[in-house]
Amino acid sequence: MNFTNFGRYILLLKSVFRKPEKLKIYLKEIAKQMDYVGVGSLGLIAIISTFIGAVMTLQIAFQLVSDFIPKTIIGSVNRDSSILELSPTISAIVLAGKIGSAISSEIGSMRVTEQIDALEIMGINAPGYLILPKIISGITMVPMLVIISMFLSISGGYIGGSVSGAVTPAEYLQGITTDFNPYTIVVALVKAFVFGFIITSVPAYEGFYVRGGALEVSQASTRAVVISCISILACDYIVTQLLL
Partner 1 sequence: MIEIKDIYKSFSGNEVLQGISGKFEEGVTNLIIGGSGSGKTTLLKCMVGLHQPDSGSVLYDGRDFTPMTYEQRIEVRKEIGMLFQGSALFDSMTVQDNIMFPLNMFTDQTRSEKIDRVNFCLERVNLAGKNNLFPAELSGGMKKRVGIARAISMNPKYLFCDEPNSGLDPKTSIVIDELIQELTEEYKTTTIVVTHDMNSVMGIGDYILFLHEGKKFWEGSNKEIAHTEIKELNDFVFASRFMKAAKDKF
| Residues forming the site for partner 1 (CB under 8 A) | 18, 21-22, 25, 113-115, 117-118, 120-124
Residue among 8 and 18 whose Cβ is closer to partner 1: 18
Q: Where are the alpha helices (DSSP H) in the chain?
A: 2-16, 23-34, 40-63, 72-81, 91-95, 101-112, 115-122, 126-164, 169-177, 183-208, 214-243
CB of 229 to partner 1, least distance (A): 27
- Choose among 142, 154, 134: nearest CA to 188: 142
Residue among 21 and 35 whose Cβ is closer to partner 1: 21
Residue among 35 and 120 whose Cβ is closer to partner 1: 120
- φ/ψ of 153, rounded to 5, equals -65, -45
Half-sphere exposure in the Cβ direction for 110 (13 Å, CA): 22
CA–CA distance, 175 with 155 (Å, rounded to integer): 13
CB of 215 to partner 1, least distance (A): 17
Residue among 91 and 104 whose Cβ is closer to partner 1: 104
Task: Using DSSP, state whether 213 is helix, strand or coil.
Answer: coil
CB of 121 to partner 1, least distance (A): 5
Residue among 10 and 25 whose Cβ is closer to partner 1: 25
CB of 12 to partner 1, least distance (A): 14
CB of 100 to partner 1, least distance (A): 19
Cβ 85 vs Cβ 56: under 8 Å: no
CB of 31 to partner 1, least distance (A): 15
Cβ 98 vs Cβ 226: under 8 Å: no
Residue among 106 and 171 whose Cβ is closer to partner 1: 106
Torsion of CA 99, 238, 87, 48, to 10 degrees: 50
